[in-house]
Structure 1
Amino acid sequence: MDTHKIMIVDDDPHICEIVQVYCEREGFISSYSHSGTEAMELLASFEPDLIVLDVLLANENGIDWCMNARSYTNAPIVFLSSCEEDEVKISALSYGGDDYVTKPFSPGVLMAKIKAHLRRVSTGRREQLLELPGLTLDFYTQSVTMGSEPIFLSKKEFSLLSYMAQNVNRVVTADTLFQLIWGMESLEDTRTVAVHISNLRKKIEADPVNPERIVTIRGAGYMLVARSSFKART
């Protein structure tokens, strides 16, 4: 089981240390910063699973930071603040926050909230995985793995594969794929589907010339085949 990473953003070093100690007691990895600028750099390098964020940072607004951070992360954000005004709470929760804890706070209650949000996220993430023999699609990150090997797909390639994976062992016409993924207003034509299918085969087939996963059904379309005998490409 992966160890969760908690990022703490508070201009009070004492608060950061308290939260960090309790996080470590729960087996979490934690890191903290005292300013919004530092926190944005930490966000990129640390890639947290959850963020504990003060509303009032030194010379900065934590809610503004939260709004900006939402362009880079979907991690739950739990606000930690001495502000008890309803307007502040409403703003914090309306502009990207997932929870709000007022200071002085109970570390035990904060940890309980953190674990509840992490459980919710973990459940949601499991629901966004589609596992086929030797092939796993992650709809959250739009990524594909074969065994433990990541397969790098373009956005269109992932869209094609994910639709066929949701209709595994069923024929899907080229027209259907084209309309769903490129749209009726596209300047492309349905032949572009064949080009992308060919590129997909080069990435997921052991022998792209004689495909076994994405097969062509003559006169009908394409089928993504799932067999228990399929293993990750070696």
Structure 2
Amino acid sequence: MDTHKIMIVDDDPHICEIVQAYCEREGYIVTYSHSGAEAMKLLISFKPDLIVLDVLLANDNGMDWCRNARSYTNAPILFLSSREEDEVKIRALSDGGDDYVTKPFSPGVLMAKIKAHLRRVSTGRKGQLLELPGLTLDFYAQSVTMGSETIFLSKREFSLLSYMAQNVNCVVSVDALFQLIWGMESVEDTRTVAVHISNLRKKIEADPAHPERIVTIRGAGYMLVARNTLQQVRT
């Protein structure tokens, strides 16, 4: 198995040390930089498999750096930031970022995100497919195929579906979905998750009003159900 290479770009040495320690614990090769100019040179020489990037660097804007870095790499870029405004997150992802984690962050959640992104880039094109009974997720195209029909999802819809697919036939709490997809530590409004689940159901359910794929487990959360167990679960 190839050893993944992680590059950290953050002007806070303490943050770099924390992320480095957790990544090295997983066996990853890690390097870091505290400035954008230095990081760009390091990007070209180190060729990381994934980048952890601060939104606000001392003398640089992390989002500008991300946009420029896309000329040299397709590696996933996970933003770290103390900024929680939606417009900041939207710009970060629009400028080439793949994920957004707010500070203070849970190292466990950050590592889960890093592992998830590395899984998607560690193999060739075939490895980008996750096949379930009656449902195939394509991580490269950000789409889901049901029978002969392919449906393209929004980034957030696909993130929700892929996370549940990786926990198929298991209950996923609303809190977990909110934290992993929106990068926040607690649920401020559960309707945010419910609205996106509703939109996702409209795309993949035969009857969204009576869902059979993404079912609600009352008082617990949601479950993506494999077809051969549909009869055992009720919404």
TM-score range, shorter chain: 0.5 to 0.7
Task: Establish whether residue 117 from structure 1 lines up as the match of residue 117 from structure 2.
Answer: yes
Aligned residue type for 1:71: S
Aligned residues: 128
Quote the residue 1:13 is aligned against. 13
Aligned residue type for 2:114: I
SS at match of 1:53: strand
Distance in 2 of aligned mates of 1:84 and 1:95? 17
Distance in 1 of aligned mates of 2:115 and 2:76? 11
Task: Establish whether residue 61 from structure 1 lines up as the match of residue 61 from structure 2.
Answer: yes
Aligned residue type for 1:51: I
SS at match of 2:78: strand
Bigger shift: residues 114-123 or 14-23: 114-123
| TM-score normalised by the chain length of structure 1 | 0.53
Using the aligned pairs only, state the percent identity.
87
Quote the residue 1:208 is aligned against. none
After TM superposition, the structure 1 = structure 2 runs for residues 24-63 of structure 1, keeping only pairs within 5 Å, are 24-63=24-63
SS at match of 1:59: coil
Q: Based on CA coordinates, which of the two structures has the bigger radius of gyration?
A: 1
Distance in 1 of aligned mates of 2:125 and 2:12? 33
Distance in 1 of aligned mates of 2:87 and 2:96? 15
Distance in 2 of aligned mates of 1:124 and 1:78? 21
Aligned residue type for 1:91: R
Deviation at 1:125, TM superposition (A): 4.5
Quote the residue 2:177 is aligned against. none
Gaps of 5+ in 1: 129-234
Distance in 2 of aligned mates of 1:49 and 1:125? 16
SS at match of 1:57: coil
- Where do 4+ consecutive residues of structure 1 move more than 6 Å? none
Once the two structures are superposed, residues 133-157 of structure 1 have per-residue CA deviations (whole angstroms, 9 ceiling, x without a partner) of xxxxxxxxxxxxxxxxxxxxxxxxx
Once the two structures are superposed, residues 88-127 of structure 1 have per-residue CA deviations (whole angstroms, 9 ceiling, x without a partner) of 0000001100000000001111000000000011245455
- Do the aligned residues in 1 keep the contact of 2:36 with 2:59 (CA within 8 Å)? no
Distance in 2 of aligned mates of 1:126 and 1:6? 23
SS at match of 1:48: coil
Deviation at 1:59, TM superposition (A): 1.9
Quote the residue 2:3 is aligned against. 3
SS at match of 2:51: strand
Distance in 2 of aligned mates of 1:59 and 1:44? 20
Distance in 1 of aligned mates of 2:38 and 2:48? 14
Distance in 1 of aligned mates of 2:124 and 2:100? 21
